[in-house]
């Protein structure tokens, strides 16, 4: 088994005058691994992909693909020699070509070791894997969004690249088709064993697809790790705000009259020792987060140390497969969203007691 990284980036820097820069990006993608670059628009995700692909030239750093240096202070290989596949947000399908002609293009123009006598079999095989064999002779202008996406994937994979780069590839599809294609991407990646670097601003896509997630902000890596770690207990307040459905609110660590440290908020006080406190330090302002799934209507499986608070329902309704309630608290601007598995016959203006276990409250030093 190959234990060497399929992609290794060290100290990558890219500047666009005074507007934006990548600042010392370090990144690896292992063999047969999916890594997601996750972050808001404009954080540098696509720029990293374009530097890897060779369509942008960085000011500093090195890029190695399968042990081969493709970018450094002395080397800058053209895209066709980097042995990668790339799927763009727009798919970049040539409208004047058929599906077959689109897919065979990399075999005819990219650097690879596949003999010409194998081109047709290779194209037919990848079209079958993508489940679009019947569309081979169709002009690209006749394709639906999902069919274009599969064609773009087939074209990116037909020459057996060592690394597949994907730039928001599902963003132009409707919700149900995105769900289907997330599954298809995992199936295809597993069958082919290709390493994948996947750019998205959609946390649901990143967490579903990736073995590891790298969170970016303003051209720098904020945090990286397995999806479960970043979802449950991220180290950074930015990740906490960006990842998952959260209830953010402010608080302050103080010492009460008994000498115990507490997290004091507008609507409830919580013993600090029982929370998930992500920083050490003196008393002061903190950022607090509660997941909607960790709050319940009191009476639903209480625990002895449960924290309770009373508020007023300000909004409620069915949201997908769950019931969502938003509760406000008297004399404050704080509102908490609660997710319930079962429908509740609640009305706006109704008084309601909520509860949560202190260990589910995540507390960060304010930055």
The phi, psi pair for 81, rounded to 5°, reads: -105, 5
List 69's β-bridge partners, or say none.
Answer: 64
Whether the model pTM is above 0.85: no
Tell me how far apart the alpha carbons of residues 291 and 109 are, in angstroms, rounded to a whole number: 50
SS3 273: helix
Q: Which pLDDT does position 114 carry in this prediction?
A: 85
Sorting pLDDT into bands at 50, 70 and 90, what band is 237?
confident
The phi, psi pair for 130, rounded to 5°, reads: -85, -5
Burial of 289 (0-12, 13-18, 19+ CB in 10 A): buried
SS3 145: helix
Q: Which pLDDT does position 342 carry in this prediction?
A: 84
Q: What is the pLDDT of residues 255-286, one digit of tens each?
A: 888 888 999 999 999 999 899 887 666 678 99
Q: Which pLDDT does position 236 carry in this prediction?
A: 84
The phi, psi pair for 22, rounded to 5°, reads: -90, 130
Q: Which pLDDT does position 120 carry in this prediction?
A: 93
Q: Which pLDDT does position 130 carry in this prediction?
A: 87
Every domain of the chain with CATH number 2.40.50.140 lies at: 245-365
Task: Give the residue-averaged pLDDT of 326-347.
Answer: 91
Specify the CATH architecture of the domain 7-240: 3-Layer(aba) Sandwich (3.40)
List the CATH code of the domain at 245-365: 2.40.50.140
Task: For 28-55, give the DSSP string.
Answer: EE-TT-EEEEE--TTSSHHHHHHHHHTS
Task: Give the residue-averaged pLDDT of 179-198.
Answer: 88
Q: Which pLDDT does position 281 carry in this prediction?
A: 61
Every domain of the chain with CATH number 3.40.50.300 lies at: 7-240
Tell me how far apart the alpha carbons of residues 36 and 165 are, in angstroms, rounded to a whole number: 10
User: Is 1's pLDDT higher than 60?
Assistant: no
Task: Say how many CA atoms lie within 13 Å of 258 toward its Cβ.
Answer: 4
């Amino acid at each position: 088994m190959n234990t060497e990284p399929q992609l290794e980036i060290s100290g990558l820097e890219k500047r666009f005058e005074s507007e934006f820069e990548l600042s010392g990006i370090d990144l690896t993608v292992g063999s047969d691994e999916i890594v997601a670059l996750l972050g808001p628009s404009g954080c540098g995700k696509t720029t990293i992909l374009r530097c890897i692909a060779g369509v942008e030239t960085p000011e500093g750093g090195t890029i190695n693909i399968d042990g081969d240096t493709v970018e450094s202070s002395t080397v800058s290989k053209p895209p066709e020699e980097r042995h990668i596949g790339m799927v763009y947000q727009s798919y970049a399908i040539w409208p004047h070509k058929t599906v077959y002609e689109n897919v065979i293009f990399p075999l005819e123009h990219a650097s690879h070791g596949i003999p010409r006598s194998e081109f047709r079999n290779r194209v037919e095989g990848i079209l079958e894997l993508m489940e679009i064999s019947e569309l081979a002779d169709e002009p690209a202008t006749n394709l639906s969004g999902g069919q274009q996406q599969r064609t773009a994937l087939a074209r990116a994979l037909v020459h057996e690249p060592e690394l597949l780069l994907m730039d928001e590839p599902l963003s132009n599809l409707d919700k149900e088709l995105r769900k289907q294609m997330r599954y298809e991407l995992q199936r295809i990646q597993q069958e082919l064993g290709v390493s994948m670097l996947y750019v998205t601003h959609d946390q649901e896509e990143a967490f579903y697809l990736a073995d590891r997630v790298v969170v970016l902000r303003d051209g720098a890596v904020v945090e990286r790790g397995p999806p479960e770690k970043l979802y449950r207990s991220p180290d950074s307040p930015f990740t906490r705000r960006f990842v998952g459905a959260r209830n953010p609110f402010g608080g302050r660590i103080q010492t009460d009259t008994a000498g115990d440290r507490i997290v004091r908020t507008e609507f409830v006080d919580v013993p600090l020792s029982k929370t998930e406190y992500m920083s050490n330090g003196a008393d002061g302002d903190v950022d607090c987060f509660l997941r909607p799934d960790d709050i319940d209507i009191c009476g639903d499986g209480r625990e002895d140390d449960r924290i309770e608070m009373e508020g007023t329902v300000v909004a409620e309704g069915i949201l997908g497969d769950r019931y969502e309630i938003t509760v406000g608290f008297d004399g404050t601007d704080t509102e908490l969203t609660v997710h319930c598995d079962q429908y509740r016959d609640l009305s706006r203006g109704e008084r309601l007691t909520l509860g949560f276990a202190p260990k589910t409250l995540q507390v960060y030093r304010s930055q």
